[in-house]
Structure 1
Amino acid sequence: MTQLTVTPDSAGITDVPGFEAAGVACDIRQKNDLKRLDLALVYSMRPCTAAGTFTKNAVKAAPVLLCQKNLEEGGPFHGFVANSGNANACTGPEGLKDAQTMAQRAAASLNQKPPAFFVCSTGRIGQPLPMDRVIKGLERAVTEKGRTPAHGKKAADAILTSDTKAKTVTVSFTYDGKKHTVAGFAKGAGMIQPNMATMLAFLATDFSVPRSFLQKTLTEAVNGTFNCITVDGDMSTNDTVLMLANGHSGVSVGDKSPRELRVLFAEAVWKACDILADKIVSDGEKITKVIEVKVQGAASAEDAEKCARAIGNSLLVKSSWYGEDPNWGRLADAAGYSGAKLVEAKLDIRYNDTPAMTAGKPHPELKPKWKEIVKQRRFTITIDLHLGKAGYRLLATDLTEGYVNYNKSE
């Protein structure tokens, strides 16, 4: 079986043949800072099919509404514009008009029609976009776009908000003597509780992919990756994952393709999403730990997820992780109130491979081992309900005073 080649810190989307990118500074935050990149443009001269997943928040930012409308119309698509520093959310009809203007200006500059461009925004909610700055930035982005690694990295930098680092990935494989690529970039550090999170993620591939197959592949990958992370339990107004397929390779992948090719493509998309999701949770605002919460033996998939999210979002649990206190009683408590079917006499809890509770009975003699485990930057907590075969995996973080101080004012 062909193996995937994974580059976790790559140039990002410009690693995909046929895609150009730019990242420019236009001071969208209006802080007289023309060094901080805050507007990204990605463009494919070849027409693309597209797929997307979006926030389930009832309050959706204007760019989300525009992206959903464009997807429904079906394309063809040629790229997207994304800005940081302003979410263009809760901005009423003017906000939607501004998002449309961004798409129109990008399209006009590149001799395309407005629906060919998606628009994404991230940043402070409730403030109008400084459109004069955005339009000037777009003009520069069109002029400065290119296909080099530097161009891809600038685009990845331009969408960051409270992130401490850019998040990029490239996954490739060879099939029938030809190399194929899935690559992308993302942002996110706070307001992270998918479905989805204050999170933007952009993926591209050089395959030709029918819209329905691309959507199915992306949705499955997002459900198992971006939708399985939490930092603070808050869902954003702007969450978006977009994927573009420009067919540059001349090879199509879809429902009628050979099984090996379909599997490889799905694995490549999943791997790219998984790495970007891990990068997001690992860069959570002021965190010190990443914890893998694994629930197994649940009576249903819904129960497994309920249990994992109750633990991963519990303030008491997250605080104990930060304090390096293996307070497994809080884990049992959260599992108990999660709404999942649970029988205490069957409950197992483990820190890595060290049991804290087996069949409802604690192991106090192992406390020194638990304490060593929770001092680590990353560790795993396993909850086995012994009531079925369903499971769920969630990546969560601790909660620090640094998070509180960072978010009490801007």
Structure 2
Amino acid sequence: MKFYQDCDGITEAQGFYASGVPANIMGKNNGKLDLGIIYSPRPCTAAGTFTTNDVKASPVRYCMDLLNEQEQVFHGVVVNSGNANACTGKQGDLDCAKMASETARHLKVHSKEILVCSTGRIGVQMPMSRVTAGITEACQDTLDELDGGKAFQEAILTSDTRTKSCSAQIETSSGKVTIGGTVKGAGMIQPNMATMLAFLTTDAFASASFLKKCLDKAVNNSFNRMTIDGDMSTNDSVLILANGSTRVDIEKESVDTIAKFQEAVDQVCTCLARKCVTDGEKVTKFVELQLNGASNDQDADLVARCIANSLLVKTSWYGSDPNWGRIVDAAGYARVGLDFEKFDLWYNDVPAVEKGKPLPSNKHKWKEIVSAKSFVIKIHLNSGSGKAVLWSNDLSEEYVNYNKSE
């Protein structure tokens, strides 16, 4: 498998085109790209995973309904940033449908063949006159087959500081297959998924059910492994589209090749998820939590989440303070029956606690490790075979300053 970072992302796969334009959705007239299109002239199968929040934005419900229709094919996605179209009532539903129908009209496809995603501020009605004008321009750029992969990446950003993309390529018996991806997300990041939109494309052919199975597995091991601030959004969506441009039917390939395809989707999702965490709002540290030895995987995940979402733990990481006491405390209030006399903890490979006994002689090493921009905390509960991994980060005063008002 060949793997590429910071590339054109979704347009790396054959037969996909994209665009990004300034539609002035927030009314600031700052020229920011805020509306994008993904388009495939060939019909695509598709699959998606979405927020588990009870409050779902209009575009999320719209996509979920379309993807539940049997034998439905798609030609693209229209996406905007700056407005989530969430908690906007019946008008929000109408505006979402209008975004699909306007995009379909310009691309000369059926409105049901266009998926819709939005991200931005909640509870504000969409400025549809500006949105439809942006759709007209974005569709024209896409139909001109401009190389708009990077413009699309910029158009979906909100509080992100940079674009995030990658792609993977595998060899099959019938030729090469590419999976491209891009993501936005920097805050309100909490399993399951977050205020993030991720888009994957592949030039292989695959059924919708096959794509759904691949995507569910990849998302569970990537986007659902990250947490930035413990908040879950209303708009979280991950979509994958397959247009079969290479004529490679991945489901007819060997078992080994199918496994390689799954690995490639996993790697793309993992790369994009890690990019989200490292680009968290005003963060300075990337922390990987490895939790082992719980009674089961669910308990391991619960303990890891309690640690990663603890404000006391996150602020100590920001202060480069190896305060393992806060970690133990957070692990304990997960209430999974933790026995501290069995508890082991390491910063990278340097032990801090062994079977409940602190090792203060290593404190200078812990301090050096947590002063770095990236480090690993390993915990073993020694109570079973359950395990979990989470990716998280610190919490700075700049995060508070950034989020105290919109």
With the length of structure 2 as denominator, give the TM-score of the two structures.
0.98
Separation in 1 of the partners of 2:53 and 2:167?
30
> Does structure 1 conserve the Cα–Cα contact (< 8 Å) formed by 2:18 and 2:147?
no
2:96 maps to 1:99: yes
Say whether the 8 Å CA contact 2:305–2:390 is kept in structure 1. Answer: yes
Structure 1 partner of 2:233: 236
- Which one of the candidate residues 216, 221, 225 is aligned to 1:224? 221
Report the RMSD for the aligned CA atoms in angstroms. 1.1
Q: Which amino acid aligns with 2:50?
A: F
Of the structure 1 ranges 141-150 and 240-249, higher mean CA displacement relative to structure 2 is found in: 141-150
User: What's the counterpart of residue 81 of structure 1?
Assistant: 78
What is the CA deviation profile of residues 39-63 of structure 1, one whole-angstrom value per residue up to 9, with x for unaligned ones? 0000111111101000000000000
In structure 2, the partner of 1:114 is 111
Q: % of aligned pairs identical?
A: 52
Deviation at 1:173, TM superposition (A): 1.5
Distance apart, 1:312 and its partner CA: 0.3
1:325 counterpart SS class: coil
Partner Cα separation in structure 1 for residue 336 and residue 41 of structure 2: 50
Corresponding residue to 1:283 among 276, 279, 283: 279
Tell whether 2:392 aligns with 1:396.
Answer: yes
Q: Which is further off, 50-59 or 146-155?
A: 146-155
| Cα shift at 1:146 | 5.9
Secondary structure in 2 aligned to 1:154? helix
CA deviations on 1:5-54 (whole Å, 9 max, x unpaired) are 11110011111101011100010011122x21000000111111101000
Q: Among 134, 150, 154, which residue is 1:153 paired with?
A: 150
In structure 2, what is the equivalent of residue 17 of structure 1?
Answer: 14
Kindly report structure 1 stretches of 4+ aligned residues shifted beyond 2 Å: 146-150
Whole-angstrom distance in 2 between the partners of 1:192 and 1:268: 24
Query: Which one of the candidate residues 63, 66, 71 is aligned to 1:70?
Result: 66
Q: Does structure 1 retain, via aligned residues, the 8 Å contact 2:282–2:398?
A: yes
Measured against aligned partners, the alpha-carbon deviations of 1:263-306 in whole angstroms (never above 9, x if no partner) come to: 01100100000000011010000000010000011110101100
Structure 2 unmatched ranges of 5 or more:
none
1:311 aligns with 2:307: yes
CA contact (8 A) 1:87 1:121 kept: yes
Contact 1:20 1:147 in 2 (8 A): no
Matched, 1:191 2:188: yes
Question: 2: CA distance between counterparts of 1:406 and 1:273?
Answer: 27
Q: Is the contact made by 1:169 and 1:276 (CA closer than 8 Å) also made in structure 2?
A: yes
Residue 177 of structure 1: how far off its partner (Å): 5.8
| Residue among 328, 338, 342 paired with 1:346 | 342
Aligned residue identity for 2:321: D
Cα 1:146–1:400 change in 2 (3 A) is farther
* Structure 2 counterpart SS, 1:219: helix
The number of residues matched between the two structures is 405
- For 1:142, give the aligned amino acid: C
- The gaps in structure 1 that reach 5 residues or longer are none
Is the 1:88–1:121 contact (alpha carbons within 8 Å) kept by the matching residues of 2? yes
CA distance in 2, matches of 1:392, 1:242: 25
Q: Which amino acid aligns with 1:80?
A: V
Greater Cα offset, 353-362 or 68-77? 68-77
CA distance, structure 2, for counterparts of residue 177 and residue 246 of structure 1? 16
Task: Tell me whether 1:372 sits opposite 2:372 in the alignment.
Answer: no
CA distance in 1, matches of 2:297, 2:182: 30
Of the three residues 3, 6, 9, the one matched with 2:3 is 6
Q: 1:150 and 1:345 mapped to 2: Cα distance?
A: 59
SS in 1 for 2:75: strand
Q: Tell me how far apart the structure 2 counterparts of residues 147 and 394 of structure 1 sit (CA, whole Å).
A: 42
1:286-297 superposed matches below 5 A: 286-297=282-293
- The match for 2:121 is 124
Residue 274 in 1 paired to residue 274 in 2?
no
Equivalent residue letter for 1:330: R
| Equivalent pair of 1:14/1:148 in contact (CA under 8 Å) | no
